[in-house]
A = this chain, B = another copy of it.
């Protein structure tokens, strides 16, 4: 089999840990598999490089910044390749421009256009372990690009798709995907198998184990993922296509929490066509991603419009919204960064009515007030006070019995 393994920054955070990665790659190779391994920069390295940049320059979306930060992964691939050879294996490193991972020219957040793959296949055919730099690519002019934070996951998945790998192991510092953050809910259980859709919703809702973008890529290309610990041989969580019967058994996959968002409310917005479009066009033009949007019913042709944005974007948003209040004739705006968003995710909820009511009931029983609600067909999200986050996670986790039984037929 051809297997792609991806190791994150913590997993290659020291020479000792690189030796561990080398041993794992070799163990897989010695089982008779072809191994392509994608590695991140050593933990802390990307931040060290960005700090150098910030002393000169305040825009990280720049051709030269990608030249600089891509060196983190470059050092890692060289060292991991050496570690594999020091342990008796054969290995060769590949940078984005050698693989060849062609991207668009959107520096610092480039998207993969194509992967040549042949150089990797040649190395694998020659019995070498291919050690591939994550996070980086090359545009059509030959400039180095980077894929943005978490881009190494995407490199791993894209490489697995391009090589036709059996699956892609995402080797990280946790044992898998859990029904809730174990730091908040000690009863949280590792999920054995989860469908792409649920994993996407969990990632979008704040579960940090996998990058949303890499899961999207995996679903689109049908790449099976195995999320597991770099420091153990225990199986982790498989992310894959689920059959309808499995999904029904697994009504709920898990609970996610997001505390890095802020709520913004425009009060007394005139309730006329085109107002919402004006607001969200202006916000989007400011480069700010809006998450939840809630508009209450109208009184006296006025309504309140609330939405959530990443807390980090709040200062930038304020300038945009102050102009908007005047333009659309609203009363004022308020912002609140003391919120949390709790989400319940499960493709099975499509066929189970009453899930939302159960969730709201669980929160109510704890005396937790719900500030905003939004739903998709497989997710229910509630904005609550940040101080209530941990109690909310436990209450919802317990109400749906997520710690007790397999969430999926594994």
Contacts and interface: CB of A to CB of B under 8 A. Distances in A.
A142 B142 CA distance: 13
A49 interface: yes
Given A15-B55, A15-B56, A92-B63, A78 B68 contact: yes
Interface in A33-82: 49, 52-53, 55-57, 62-65, 67-68, 70-71, 74-75, 77-79, 81-82
A98 interface: yes
A385 interface: no
A18 interface: yes
A121 interface: no
Given A68-B74, A71-B71, A74-B67, A79 B53 contact: yes
A18 B56 contact: yes
B67 A95 contact: yes
Interface residues of A, number: 37
Nearest to A65: B78
Contact of A57 (B64, B67, B86): B86
Interface string A345-356: 000000000000
Interface string A88-104: 00011101011000000
26 contacts: A15-B52, A52-B75, A53-B79, A53-B82, A56-B79, A56-B86, A57-B82, A62-B82, A63-B92, A63-B93, A64-B78, A64-B79, A64-B91, A64-B93, A65-B78, A67-B74, A67-B77, A67-B78, A67-B81, A67-B93, A68-B78, A68-B79, A71-B74, A74-B74, A97-B142, A98-B142
Contacts of A57: 82, 85-86
Nearest to A15: B55
Nearest to A143: B98
Contacts of A144: 95
